[in-house]
Amino acid sequence: MVQQVHFSRTLCWRLSMAPKLPKIPDPDTLVADGFSFSDRNPNSRYRDFAYLSLELGLRAFCGTYEPIRMDFSRIIGTSTVQYSDTHYPITYVERATETILHFQHFAELICKEILRKIHPLLAQENNSVSIIKAIKGKLTDSDISELGLKSHQFSNTVQSITDLNKAKLLPRAVEKTILPHLNALNKLNYLRNRLWHRGTFSLRYQALDQFVGFHLLPFVQAIMRSKLLKKPNWLLSLKTNSGIHPLRAMASSFKAGYNPKRIAILKELARAAYESPIRGHAFSIGDDARIKELAIASAASRPEAESVVDCPVCGVKSLALVEDTYDSEDPDDGPAGVYVFEVECDCCGFCLWSDVGTPSAVGLSLPKYWKHRNWR
């Protein structure tokens, strides 16, 4: 009996000393603990998810050259070696996926906001006839009872724009801005659904280039030119130290056709500009100086660098011209020697391989990086 009492007391003591499980917050409480973008300062960089998604989409797209640069010539078909779909690195798939998802999110939010400008009910899941009656001021009580508050799916948003156009109820400004791009927006939504619901599909490199360049960038430009919505004027103003505006140059390049080498260089300029650690404002002077100092020292210490020059993106003298030896028994492969095959910045990360060709050959004002020295 004494042993049993002792055991019970010991058990109670141990239980009292055991760590208590933390109280788990209720999910309803957690999901209500947020803030609205619309409440942010009017001078804030982002006051709307639409333009945040657009910038994320642009960043993802501009990052699609980086993971495939070693295989670029095979992907664009200038090599005799074919490129298999299984060779696409997962980083490319991630960025191609992010490109589609973020561009679609941007397009959906923008189109819904434009519909709300026409009438607040147009972006809701409603009977189209009731909506048109509401616009004409002929909405009855029975019509109102049909109206819901749930936001449209994007396919319904596009269909609403089509229906309004057929009914000749679409404002001229909306007609000029949206209608030329409706087919591209439908295809964008189709791609998004394949990724989101099935997760088994990715556009190949050149298809993604051309879909974005020929179809999505013109839509973005149309929105930026339109007076329908307030929009940030900085969004396409990305600029490199060499004076190139890569996003604007990319958009204008597709008006003359598709040159994969030019677009690859512009994408890499934009990616490095997005990721550059050099901030260039008054509060970062000390940090910027230290970053530049370290990058210059790093590039100068590279044993494989033929030389180090100023980077066209960040302007720091940390762009290493990386060389390698080459020898082949096949005379068609060119003379043996030492080649600069890569340039890489130790500051902003700008990196090109020689198979993109000479930048000046595709109309870009950048130095000629690719050098060759015979050694036999």
Q: H or E element: which one contains 83?
A: none
What confidence score (pLDDT) does residue 6 get? 56
Closest by Cα among 288, 289, 302, 291 to 344:
302
Q: How does residue 285 score in pLDDT terms, banded at 50, 70 and 90?
A: low
The answer on pLDDT for 225 being more than 80 is: yes
Distance between CA atoms of residues 275 and 259, nearest Å: 24
- Give the pLDDT confidence of 300-338 residue by residue, as tens digits: 999 999 999 999 999 999 999 998 877 665 555 566 778
The better pLDDT of the pair 124, 236 is held by 236
**Facing residues of 374 across strands?**
337
- Give the pLDDT confidence of 109-162 residue by residue, as tens digits: 999 888 888 877 776 665 555 555 655 665 554 554 555 445 668 888 888 888
What confidence score (pLDDT) does residue 149 get? 45
The better pLDDT of the pair 232, 179 is held by 179
Closest by Cα among 196, 188, 165, 169 to 61:
188
What confidence score (pLDDT) does residue 7 get? 55
Closest by Cα among 230, 224, 219 to 117:
230
Mean pLDDT of 258-285: 89
Rg (CA), the chain: 28
- Give the pLDDT confidence of 69-115 residue by residue, as tens digits: 999 999 998 877 778 888 999 999 999 999 999 999 999 999 988 88
Q: Are 279 and 300 in contact (CB under 8 A)?
A: no
Q: H or E element: which one contains 308?
A: strand 305-309
The better pLDDT of the pair 267, 164 is held by 267
- Give the pLDDT confidence of 28-60 residue by residue, as tens digits: 888 888 877 666 655 566 667 889 999 999 999
Identify the sign of the CA torsion 139, 141, 145, 150.
Answer: positive
The answer on pLDDT for 282 being more than 80 is: no
- Give the pLDDT confidence of 159-186 residue by residue, as tens digits: 888 888 888 888 888 889 999 999 999 9
Q: How does residue 4 score in pLDDT terms, banded at 50, 70 and 90?
A: low
The answer on pLDDT for 278 being more than 70 is: yes
| 225: Cα within 13 Å, side-chain hemisphere | 11
Distance between CA atoms of residues 239 and 185, nearest Å: 28
Closest by Cα among 253, 191, 199 to 57:
191
